[in-house]
Amino acid sequence: MDLQTTIYIVVGLSFALYIGIAIWARAGSTSEFYVAGGGVHPVTNGMATAADWMSAASFISMAGLIANMGYGGGLFLMGWTGGYVLLAMLLAPYLRKFGKFTVPQFIGDRFYSKSASTVAVVCLLVASLTYIIGQMTGVGVAFSRFLGVSSEMGIYIGMAIVFAYAVFGGMKGITYTQVAQYVVLILAYTVPAIFISLQLTGNPIPQLGLGGDYKGTDMTLLAKLDQVVTDLGFGQYTTSVPGSKLNMFMYTLSLMIGTAGLPHVIMRFFTVPKVKDARSSAGWALVFIAILYTTAPAVAAMAKLNLHSTVNAEVKGGGDIFAPEAALVYEQRPDWMKRWETTGLLKFEDKNGDGRIQYYNDKTKNADVLAKAEAAGWKGNELTVNPDIMVMANPEIALLPNWVIALVAAGGLAAALSTAAGLLMAISSAVSHDLIKGVFNPSISEKNELLAGKIAMAIAIVVAGWLGLNPPGFAAGTVALAFGIAASSLFPAIMMGIFSKKMNREGAIAGMLAGLFVTLFYVFAHKGLFFIKGTGYVDLIGGPNSFFGITPEAFGAVGAGVNFIVAFIVDKLTKEPPAHIQDMVESVRVPRGAGSAHAH
């Protein structure tokens, strides 16, 4: 059976499974629509949370980012995993004990204000819509490569699939669909990694293979990779840090607290019966997440070494990589390169007209590398590889069986669709439950609220699809920006709502608005989106990364600091919350039955 037919069968079966589960688990009440009736088992919820969590960014992009950045790419591992621990330990159990469906509802009730709830809805919509651009783009990339359709058509198909199981099933349908999607995506990620680890190191466990010896040599895999990339003018793989250490720290912190503030993950903890189950499901989710996250560094390193080995024969042989015959003849390039070229994510430009592919860092400061390249007749790097293809193309580069390649296609789509569904659920509940029921029409019937939720989700799918088809000018790094927006607006309000019983509504509202404004201002100013008639685009911040070298994607941590500072200043200048609110916060924090110790 040829590759394309195998892909159609595997992807088609996975989609039929998702839609079948949605029909079986369709929601009949608002409780089932928003929180799956509150009766999901902790292990099941942990698996669904892991699928919700591991988006297209985790499945498709993370290993590519690590492969591209080297050691510095580890900030994504540290930020996203650390943020999950922060969420599980500091936020989820308390929010579950509070007993509300959504983050805006918690903020509205805790800060005794519909205005606070409305501001939280705005922050949630901005963060979720920014995040969903990356998911829909990922869907388009996966479909365009594996189903042989345009990325635009891929997004339309993705919209239809999500519509089928999210609108009809609600959180109940999404939860059980995400369990199936987790199984698909984790098999799709680990099976190729096991094959490739065996090929390169002889060890079937990728995590151990990463530290093992490169087959046929007395060098470790990482030492071999360091040798290859430095010989070709790239930074040393195991020590490279992009930008300053301060920026790396702020980037990691922004991802961490943004993770803890993302509403679509927090909502998952309302689907379990008890507070104890929220803690338990958080632990199970961490186990399921760790399987992929500990595999990602091995996938990144092995994919990069395989790519270099494909383009330059002497990488594997250990000969002169600048020898004319070492570079791959373009007309003899493998089929996987031809397939990815059609997507535009892999491009070749024959700068010296020799018909061979020269792949090296032509912007290196290493004079020795540049001299060798010039002596060999190289006129610059000729191959452009989008980091997003590294995971998806890895099985093809390693010449793995067709069924493994098809499994990766299904896994990439499962990762993007599962997170898109979770985000759409958060958007839907924010509009129908928090805005319509909470602010504009408190007396709405359950039937009409359920209808409003489904309409809101349908509209959100259309908007998400449109954003995927027409990504804004700052689409690069949108996932990191989404985390920054959540970090600067929602996370501080949730933290202060739980741990500061004296924080009042004025402080919380002012903090959220200040954090959101500062972060968006820095992002938009960087992307040249401030335009004044007659003068054109205006630089309002003094050049790129002008605030201590911090990049826009890392600025969420600064925005969070602004949020906290503004909130506490405003809080001190206004009156403290009512006594019953302070008592409520105290009761949420203190375990049931706790009291002072008495001597007898």
Is pLDDT at 529 greater than 60 in this prediction?
A: no
Q: Which helix (H) or strand (E) holds 23?
A: helix 3-24
Question: What pLDDT digit, counting tens, does each position of 431-443 carry?
Answer: 887 788 877 888 8
Rg (the chain; Cα; Å) = 25
Contact 244, 231 (CB under 8 A): no
| Whole-number average pLDDT of the chain | 82
Question: What percentage of the chain has pLDDT greater than the value 70?
Answer: 88
Task: Answer yes or no: is pLDDT of 535 > 50.
Answer: no
Burial class (CB in 10 A: 0-12, 13-18, 19+), 78: middle
pLDDT (average), residues 459-485? 72
User: Which pLDDT score, from 0 to 100, does residue 475 have?
Assistant: 43
Adjacent-strand bridge partners of 348: 383
Res. 524: pLDDT tops 60: yes
For residues 320-343, average pLDDT:
87
Residues 538-569 pLDDT 10s = 555 556 666 788 888 889 999 999 999 999 99
Amino acid 371: pLDDT = 92
Q: What pLDDT does 31 receive?
A: 57
Position 116 confidence tier, pLDDT thresholds 50, 70, 90: very high
| Cα 80 to Cα 103: distance, rounded to the nearest angstrom | 20
Cβ burial of 363 (10 Å; 0-12, 13-18, 19+) is: exposed
Whole-angstrom Cα distance, residue 443 to residue 506?
Answer: 27
Mean pLDDT along residues 390-402: 84
Amino acid 539: pLDDT: 53
Confidence of residue 104 (pLDDT cuts 50, 70, 90): confident
Produce one character per residue of 524-539: b if its CB has 16 or more CB atoms within 10 Å, e if not: bbbbeeeeeeeeeeee
Does position 531 have pLDDT exceeding 50, yes or no? Answer: no
Largest CA distance in the chain: 92
Q: Is pLDDT above 90 for 185?
A: no
